[in-house]
Amino acid sequence: MNTDELAFFTTPGPMTRLEAETGLPGDAAGLCAISQGLIVHEFLADQYGVQDVDARREEVENRSAAEMAARIRRLDPRGLAEPRPPALRMIGNCRHFSVLTVALLRRAGIPARARAGFAGYFGEGWVDHWIVERWDADAHRWKRTDAQLDERQTELFKIGFDPYDLPEGAFLTGGEAWLRCRSGLEDPERFGLGEMRGAWFVAGNVVRDLAALNKVELLPWDVWGMIDTPVDAGDPRAALVDEIAEAVTSGDLARCRRLYERDEVRVGRTVRSHRYQRDVHLV
C-alpha cells in the first residue's frame, strides 16, 4: 500500500474531525467498539428498550462526527470512552456508527475509511449498509469492520464470523455490487432497503462510496448530482457508474480522486435530504 494513500486516510475530512479526547483506547479493536456504547440504531432501538425514537428522530440528521459527539455529550456529559445506557445514546444508523469510528481511528493515527454498500448478513438479499475499513499494519491489508454489530446484534442476526474482520463477500461496496449486477451474477432487485431496491439504488451507493473514499461521508438519504435523478442500468449515465465502480474496486485512489472532480458526482455546498425533503447546507 502506498504510504501517501495511508497518510490520506489517516487525516480527517470534513465529516470526521474531532476535538482532542482523553481516556480513549489506543488499539483499533477498542476504538471500533466505542460507538456501540454511544449510538443506538433507529430501527433496532426496541431491542435495547429505547421507546422514544420517534420523538428524537432528528438526531439521525447529525452528519459530522463533531456534531455526533456534541449530541452525545448533551445526552450525557461524560467522555466518549464511557459507554452510555441505551436511553442516553444518540439515535443513529449504520452510517453514524461507521463515521464516528473512522473519526476515532484517524484521530489515533490509524488509516481508516467508511464504505457505502450492502450487507448480506441481515436476512434475505443485500441490505443497504455502511462499514469501516481500517488498515492493519501487521497483516498489511485493509480489514473490514462492522462497528454496529455488538454482542446483542451478533446474537440477533446469528452472526457466525468476527465483526471486526468481515469475511470476503459478507459485505459488498456499492461498486462491487454494481459490477456483479452488470455481469449478471446478481439480481439488482435483491439490493436495497425495504421496498426501495434495484439498479438505481445500487448506482446511488456507487457514488456515495466514491464520495466516502474522498472523505465526504454523507447520510444515506442525502442526494446530489446524478443521485438526485436515479440512474438505472439502461440509462446512458450508467457508463459513468461503470467507470466509478471499476475505480473504487481497484483501490486506485488517484483515479477515484480524479473521478470525484466531475460535476455529476462531486458534493457541493448543498445537498438535498430525500428523507426530509429539504435542502441542507454543508458546513
Give the pLDDT confidence of 22-38 residue by residue, as tens digits.
899 989 999 999 999 99
248: Cβ–Cβ under 8 A, 6 or more apart, which residues?
A: 173, 174, 175, 206, 209, 210, 213, 256
Q: Which residue has the cell 501487521?
A: 138
With contact defined as beta carbons under 8 Å apart, do 92 and 152 qualify? Answer: no
With cut-offs at 50, 70 and 90, classify the pLDDT of residue 137.
Answer: very high
- Across the range 117-124, mean pLDDT stands at 95
State the Cα–Cα distance between residues 26 and 252, nearest whole angstrom: 29
The pTM is what?
Answer: 0.96
189: pLDDT strictly greater than 90: yes
199: pLDDT strictly greater than 70: yes
| Burial grade of 205 (CB within 10 A; 0-12, 13-18, 19 or more) | buried
**Each residue of 34-70: pLDDT tens digit?**
999 999 999 999 999 999 999 999 999 999 999 999 9
What are the cell numbers at 182? 452488470
- Across the range 226-238, mean pLDDT stands at 86
With cut-offs at 50, 70 and 90, classify the pLDDT of residue 1.
Answer: low
